[in-house]
Amino acid sequence: MYITRKVVTEALKQVIFFAKQDNIVNLNMVDDIEIKGNEVKVNIVFPKLDDPAVGIIYNSVVKTLKQELGEDVKVDVAPIAEADKGRGPLAGVKNVIAVIAGKGGVGKSTVAANLAVSLLKAGKSVGVLDADIMGPSVPMMFGVEGQQPGVIEREGKPIMIPIENYGIKILSLGFFVQPDQALMWRGSMINKAFNQLMEDSDWGTLDYLVIDMPPGTGDIQLTLGQSYNVRGTILVTTPQKVATADVRRAAMMYRQESLTIPLLGIVENMAYFVPEDMPDKKYFIFGKGATDELAQELDIPVLGRVPIVEKVVESGDNGAPITLDDNSSVSEAFREIAKNVEQRLEIL
């Protein structure tokens, strides 16, 4: 059985908090569910930890999950007191989403930035974390290049304040590393900087934190999967067979046993070209079919297809993602993608 949050949540509805005469899901006591392969971790929030109900519910959660998911499932229940809720790193962030690709240049950053804007326009609070150390382009795309994030002190620790533009919170590895120095950074240094961006930063409360991941498979990918609760990845590819072959390898890494981050689906970027003077014509200049084949093979949906439009380049270079303007075919494509991402998260 493939364990999903939905399956776990449904099972937890069988666990009743008798004092309040309802199940722990309805009572909002289930704070966090993390699934890694055959291991399920659940945080349960109690008004007070010295309540005798804590032990009873603890046992009931373990028993119910094993009963519903299988005896061999490892269940890890952490009771936490209401007063301590929301104190861990990224506690205010509901959904961490990683945008991944097999190689550079397919439009990963473009998709991350425009998905962020489209989610914002759909009424969500959004942050973008640029983790692509070799090609950090998010600051430029949001017009905050050259700015430095502020730092405050909290409980004796320096905390970074994301830079904000268009209502989106932004942090980038590029704020700390000059591109020509990136090659000299050791993996451990990159990981440390990445962890700081994730944990020692004031993301506040967000519906979505969209991470622009480095292309391919590497250290940051492992750190992300092993240390954080990521709701899903979005694969970006162009229609060529070589591009889909590359992203397939990256996807398999996220899917492997030790990480098991759900794949939300594929965004096919540069899917086709529409000449401005012939808006009814679509030219599939990079071919057709390879993306659908990959989607079928991985058993994930195609979340959307983004056309090749000159203005995408311009708007990226000018620091204003094209989706800030509602009236373009690209904005329409991203509205659809944002909607599909939200729907996919509901069932996973």
Ligand X SMILES: Nc1ncnc2c1ncn2[C@@H]1O[C@H](COP(=O)(O)OP(=O)(O)O)[C@@H](O)[C@H]1O
Catalog residues that contact Mg ion under the rule CB under 5 A: 109, 132, 135, 137
Q: How far is the CB of 110 from ligand X (least distance, A)?
A: 3
Residue 270's binding partner out of ligand X, Mg ion, none, with CB under 5 to 8 Å set by partner kind: ligand X
Q: Distance between CA atoms of 266 and 111, rounded to whole angstroms?
A: 11
Residue 106's binding partner out of ligand X, Mg ion, none, with CB under 5 to 8 Å set by partner kind: ligand X
Q: Distance between CA atoms of 100 and 129, rounded to whole angstroms?
A: 13
| C-alpha atoms less than 13 angstroms from C-alpha of 222 in its C-beta half-sphere | 8
Closer residue to ligand X (CB): 126 or 250: 250
Q: How far is the CB of 115 from Mg ion (least distance, A)?
A: 13
Q: Is 55 helix (H, G, I), strand (E, B) or coil?
A: helix
CB neighbours of residue 186 within 10 Å: 9
Residue 313's binding partner out of Mg ion, ligand X, none, with CB under 5 to 8 Å set by partner kind: ligand X
Q: How far is the CB of 129 from Mg ion (least distance, A)?
A: 13
Residue 47's binding partner out of ligand X, Mg ion, none, with CB under 5 to 8 Å set by partner kind: none
Q: How far is the CB of 214 from Mg ion (least distance, A)?
A: 9
| H/E segment holding residue 76 | strand 74-81
Closer residue to Mg ion (CB): 141 or 206: 141
Q: Whole-angstrom distance between the N-terminal and C-terminal Cα of the chain?
A: 13
Residue 107's binding partner out of Mg ion, ligand X, none, with CB under 5 to 8 Å set by partner kind: ligand X
Q: Distance between CA atoms of 80 and 163, rounded to whole angstroms?
A: 32
Closer residue to Mg ion (CB): 212 or 295: 212
Closer residue to Mg ion (CB): 109 or 172: 109
- Asked if 139 and 174 count as a contact pair (C-beta separation under 8 A), the reply is yes
**Closest by Cα among 125, 119, 163, 121 to 141:** 163
Q: How far is the CB of 77 from Mg ion (least distance, A)?
A: 39
Closer residue to ligand X (CB): 24 or 306: 306
Q: How far is the CB of 240 from ligand X (least distance, A)?
A: 14
Residues that bind ligand X (CB under 6 A): 101, 104-110, 135, 137, 269-270, 306, 308-309, 312-313, 316
Q: Distance between CA atoms of 218 and 98, rounded to whole angstroms?
A: 14
- Asked if 323 and 337 count as a contact pair (C-beta separation under 8 A), the reply is no
